[in-house]
Chains A and B, each alone.
Chain A
Amino acid sequence: MRLDRELACQEVVELMTAYLDDVLDPLDRERFEEHLVFCDGCSNYLEQMRATIVLAGHVSLELPPALEERLLEAFRGWRGS
């Protein structure tokens, strides 16, 4: 990914996921980080993306109990076959 001028906040926001995945090329990464130095809005946004990821990591997913029951039956059927 290559950008040819100073980044506007909206561009910085669009690059956040690439930045967090560490896939920006070194020059863009530098520009991205330079922008954060003077922009509180984008710094806050980045921190909030990080917080969002941490929160999502604490979400627990559950199968609907009826489906879990059906899957178990399928397993027992397979094992018995």
Chain B
Amino acid sequence: MEQVLSPEDERLVDGLRAGDESAFVALMRMYGAGMLRVALMYVSSRAVAEEVVQEAWVGVLRGIGRFEGRSSLKTWLYRIVANTAKTRGLREARSVPFSALGDETGDEPAADADRFLGSGERFPGHWSVPPQSWAPEGQLLGQETLEMVAREIDRLPPAQRAVITMRDIQGFTSEEVCNSLDLSETNQRVLLHRARAKVRSALEEYMR
């Protein structure tokens, strides 16, 4: 496989290997909070998730010398935290086994299901209350709206929250998310879709 490291990644990897604190701080601030959300997919409490993140970073520091850049740096970081959290989750009595992801990709009603006409209607599956257009994007981008979006994302179920965080906040591609979390493309998309639909719906409520 080819090297896929960006110049930026390469600089951070070199910095970390050299024990450069600013490289560590930069990486921790870029990805630490996202890694915490990944940990919360597999363990039941915030405190344990924080321990997992710490353990994962220790693993990162120990492993950085051997990191070969076959995946992007962030994919490598997220794989380490996901694996650390899975191991920890298995050990925990009240763990959430990874297969419990099924709850988040399965049963839930489809996005905004209550907004469509039922099967007894003349146009089943069509809007009963169609979405109205919003203000132009520029006007939406206020601090208050962003805080509301951040809160809604925070309230999502763990796997949906982790996936929307990686895709839409941190700019991972779907492939990078699938590789980081060992998710199928379909499951990744279902989680992202549900997460976005819930945030959209909250924004709609807020716009009224």
Contact = CB atoms under 8 A, between A and B. Distances in A.
Contacts of A13: 110-112, 197
Contact of A67 (B36, B165, B170): B36
A31 B180 CA distance: 33
Interface string B147-175: 00110010000000000110011110010
A27 interface: no
Contact of B137 (A14, A51, A60): A51
A60 B199 CA distance: 16
B57 A75 contact: yes
Give the interface SS of chain A, mostly helix, strand, loop or mixed: helix
Interface residues of A, number: 44
Contacts of A53: 168, 196
Contacts of B185: 23
A52 B199 contact: yes
Interface string B44-58: 000000100110011
Contacts of B58: 74, 78
B68 to A, nearest CB: 20
10 contacts: A13-B112, A16-B193, A48-B131, A48-B203, A51-B140, A52-B196, A52-B200, A58-B146, A70-B50, A71-B28
